[in-house]
Structure 1
Amino acid sequence: MLFAAFQSPGPIILEIGPIVVRWYGLLIASAVLIGLTLSQYLAKRRNVDPELLGDLAIWLVLFAIPAARIYYVLFEWQEYAQRPEDIIAIWKGGIAIHGAIIGGTLGTIIFARLNRISLWQLLDLVAPSVILGQAIGRWGNFFNSEAFGKPTDLPWKLYIAPRYRPLGFLNSEYFHPTFLYESLSNLGVFAILLFLFFWGLKNRDRLKTGTLAGVYLIAYSLGRVWIEWLRTDSLMLGPLKVAQVVSFSAISLGVLILAWLYWFKRPLPDVVSPRKQQSISNK
């Protein structure tokens, strides 16, 4: 069933002299714009000022993208030590979503603290946009011929050119399209979060603040743990795959969040006490 085999057309969309337009950069920019539009729409549905999400988006970009690059470079330092000029070459690929999540969360914490806003309410509003952005961004891996899995003969196999193949698989032509698996998994998580969001509009007393953030951590991480077993280019920490270690930690945190909200029936600790929080209602 070769009709389902596919391969990347290459990382570059357009090249005119020194001007190079790459799929990776276009997809990241598209994910940011689509995510911002979505989060502002969700904010309106929650009667929250959408301009607040526009301000937060700037913080997320400033914190998430550099953190994603730093995270990746640190775990691939042996490679970048040989060519330090490539450390800032983010357009060539090489960012880690867990680094982006950590950086974005840090930026959101600071933003919430400075503006005296509930961190968990902000996280609930951006969680659907974040996972949708991840689903879009994964296609950058496709165009860069990276983040693919082990060799396979499945009908939906991905052809990888010899120059992109890992040393142990130079004689293999077709690999698991793990970027596609994760993109589809992320779309599934996106659907779950949207369902919970709109269900929560009709059941405000039952959907507690912080729920979407907790569900995001669990649902995304469960998919990532499975997909990481198929990857051949995982970031490693000794014998352990870093993404799996972080994912198991995120699952534990997500379970703790939901247990705190629904088992112990207590509000989550916030960066600003409720009595000091400013209203973020749409005026």
Structure 2
Amino acid sequence: MELAYIPSPSRGVLYLGPVPLRGYAFCIIIGVFVAVWLGNKRWVARGGRAGTVADIAVWAVPFGLVGGRLYHVITDYELYFSEGRDWVDAFKVWEGGLGIWGAIALGAVGAWIGCRRRGIPLPAYADAVAPGIALAQAIGRWGNWFNQELYGKPTDLPWAVEITSSTDGRLPGTYHPTFLYESLWCIGVALLVIWADRRFKLGHGRAFALYVAAYCAGRFWIEYMRVDEAHHILGLRLNNWTALFVFVLAVIYIVLSARKRPGREEIVEPGASDGDWDEGAAAVEDAEPDLEPESKSKSESEGPSAKADAEEKKDAGASGGGGVKKEPESAEKS
């Protein structure tokens, strides 16, 4: 009886007409768009302007890609700088190899620059985009499926992934689809952050810290299942230690931040509400000139009768004007 399994794609390149697009890069691009879309909706719901998330992402995304690649190259330097390797391959991001830790760290630097340019607090921005980042990771992990990389131990489970080619010398077979495990975990993290944010009104960076802590918890056990080459410290893979360390930092931040600044920011983007008022005021001002012709025509139609009334009052005043003028004279004589 043939076992069920998840087949790997026959090729890792998609063609948009004559343009080749690697599946890995395609997944990252889709993930970025989803993150910006969801982040924008959450940012506007918190009182910010539409489009701000995309403007800051122009800084955060390139920084994140550079940071992710740097982390990967530094922690797996032997893939690029050992004997028989070509160091130029370190620049071929489209072939795979991004470390989430470096992407988040340097991406935060890019976001900080973008936030400073807009006068926005970075923690508020991070809270808005946190679930979107988790979903971007969920989509991006399917790039590992296209590349047939970062899988787990051999297994005959029905959801095992079939590996037909390998760059690490392993035999073709069925393995734990750790990319799928992490993808599903990241979707769960996104839903958790959205729910907790609505339930507890998380602010001042706590929604982002919750995302970081929840992701690290999943990454720890998923990393433990992987069989690709990695540096080990005290029996654990380097990424296990990184996940554990970052998890502790995120939990500490949540606790201390909740004590120091409970609740959520009242204003996430200075001037956003004023901008909305200005737009409304402009609409009113645009409508006011339309009333002028009506008022003018009304005054013109009432003009003759009003003029006649004024002449009658003038005549009445003239007929009784003598007595009125004599009173001051008699008063002066007396």
After TM superposition, where is structure 1 displaced by more than 6 Å over at least 4 residues in a row?
Answer: none
Q: 1:92 and 2:95 equivalent?
A: yes
Q: How much does 1:214 deviate?
A: 1.6
1:20, distance to aligned residue in structure 2 (A): 1.9
Rg larger in 1 or in 2? Answer: 2
Work out which of the residue numbers 243, 247, 250 in structure 2 matches 1:247. Answer: 243
Deviation digits for residues 17-73 of structure 1 (CA, Å, limit 9, x no counterpart): 7x4221111111111111111111111111111222111111111100111111111
3-state SS, counterpart of residue 14 of structure 2: strand
Match of 2:260 in 1: 266
* Counterpart among 144, 148, 151 of residue 145 in structure 1: 148
Letter of the 1:217 partner, please give it: V
**Map of 2:313 onto structure 1:** none
1:141, 1:165 → 2: CA distance? 13
Cα distance, 1:234 vs structure 2: 5.3
SS of the residue 2:156 aligns to: coil
The one-letter code of the counterpart of 2:261 is: P
Match for 2:252 among 256, 272, 283?
256
Where does residue 332 of structure 2 map in the other structure?
none
Q: How high is the TM-score relative to the length of structure 1? A: 0.86
Tell me which residue corresponds to 2:293: none
Structure 2 residue identity aligned to 1:109: W
Contact 2:5 2:162 (8 Å CA) reproduced: no
Secondary structure of the corresponding residue to residue 180 of structure 2: helix
How big is each residue's C-alpha offset from its partner over 1:144-193, in whole Å with a ceiling of 9 and x where there is no partner?
001111111111111111x41643x42x6111000000000000001111
Residue type at the aligned position of 2:256? W
Q: Deviations over 1:220-252 (max 9, x none)?
A: 000000000111125425554221111111111
Separation in structure 1 between the aligned mates of residue 232 and residue 117 of structure 2, nearest angstrom: 35
Aligned partners of 1:192, 1:233: CA distance in 2, in Å?
30
Q: What's the CA shift for 1:208?
A: 3.5
Task: In structure 2, give the amino acid aligned to 1:247.
Answer: A
Residue of structure 2 equivalent to 1:229: 224
Moved more, 73-82 or 216-225: 73-82
Percent identical among aligned pairs is 31
Structure 1: gaps (5+ residues): 269-273
Query: Which residue number corresponds to residue 164 of structure 1?
Result: 166
More RCO (CA 8 Å, sep 6+): 1
> Between Structure 1 and Structure 2, how many residues are aligned?
265
Matched AA of 1:279: P
Name the structure 1 match of 2:15. Answer: 14
Q: What value does the CA root-mean-square deviation take over the aligned residues?
A: 2.3
Gaps of 5+ in 2: 276-334
Instruction: Give yes or no for contact 2:48–2:269 (8 Å, CA) kept in 1.
Output: no
Match of 2:270 among 266, 271, 279: 279
Flag the 1:280–1:7 CA change in 2: closer, same or farther, 3 A: farther
The equivalent residue for 1:193 is: 193
Residue number in structure 1 paired with 2:36: 36
**TM-score, length-scaled by structure 2:** 0.73
Is the 8 Å Cα contact of residues 131 and 187 (structure 1) preserved in structure 2?
A: yes
Deviation of 1:209 after TM superposition, in Å, equals 2.4
Give the drift of 1:281. Answer: 3.1
Give the partner amino acid of 2:71: Y
Residue 260 of structure 2 aligns to a residue whose secondary structure is: coil
Q: 1:25 corresponds to which residue?
A: 25
Q: CA deviation at 1:126?
A: 0.9
SS of match in other structure, 1:159: strand
